[in-house]
Amino acid sequence: MGQLPAYCPECHALFPAPLSAEGPTDVTFFDIPVRCARCEASGHIPANVREWIGQVAIAVRSVAKGERHSLLEALDDCRREGRGPSGCLERLGELEGRPGGVSDVFRRMEHQELDFAPLVAAAGVAALRLMEEEGPAAEELAREELVNWTMDRVLDDFAIEPPPDRGPSESERRLADTGRNEPCPCGSGEKYKDCHWMEDLRESR
């Protein structure tokens, strides 16, 4: 069982999703919306994310060992810069080896107009790091084992930590503690509903 990664197309954050995948079947056949752990925008668990991670992991493993370092740098650039599929293809096209299998993954993403290329690039980096560190053990892994290792590694290496809970704001505290017909906490003498209630309501949303 492995925790699924989620992605935010607004700030390009990668973060653990509140779902796990078990076995070879991907539980996310459709996009599942989740709130971004960094900017609180609308992120998502991409549809078939496990399959996409598997595709890039298998593709990078097929690249000749002498060409993997430059591939790792290119994929890491794509991840850090939040490049879309076409941007990733452009960056990969700069490599002398021109890794066809890896480019094909991003070409499919471009064709399907998918927005999580930086997550797939991060998975490629994670898979390359695994193979560099684990050597023959990673080279000989079955596909599903490689996918599981890569999914765990991509979250370990690149997932952001959720921001600390800041607690309720001043306006949220006033809304919780003050009845609408009670005196406004500002000391004006007016009823809360006739003074700062609406302003606090807007700020708390």
Across the strands, what pairs with 44? 7, 33
pLDDT value of residue 198: 84
What's the rounded Cα separation, in Å, for the pair 152 and 49?
A: 13
pLDDT value, residue 204: 59
7, containing H or E segment: strand 2-7
- Residue of 42 and 14 predicted with greater confidence: 14
Per-residue pLDDT tens digits for 137-181: 888 889 889 988 998 899 899 988 655 555 677 877 888 888 889
pLDDT the model gives residue 93: 92
Between 16 and 103, residue with greater pLDDT: 103
Span 4-33, mean pLDDT? 75
Estimate to the nearest angstrom the gap between the alpha carbon of 157 and the chain centroid.
Answer: 12
pLDDT band at 24 (very low <50, low <70, confident <90, very high): very low
In this prediction, residue 21 carries a pLDDT of 52
pLDDT-wise least confident of 6-10, 24-28, 37-41, 79-83: 24-28
Which pLDDT belongs to residue 19? 64
- pLDDT in the model for residue 16: 87
Strands in 22-80 per DSSP E: 32-35, 42-45
Mean pLDDT, the chain, as a whole number?
Answer: 86
Strand partners, 14: 7
Q: For residue 201, is pLDDT > 70?
A: yes
Beta carbons within 10 angstroms of residue 10's beta carbon: 13
| 91-147 confidence digits (pLDDT tens) | 999 987 778 899 999 999 999 999 999 999 999 999 999 999 988 888 888 988 998
pLDDT digits (tens, 9 = 90+) for 57-96: 999 999 989 999 999 999 999 999 999 999 999 999 998 7
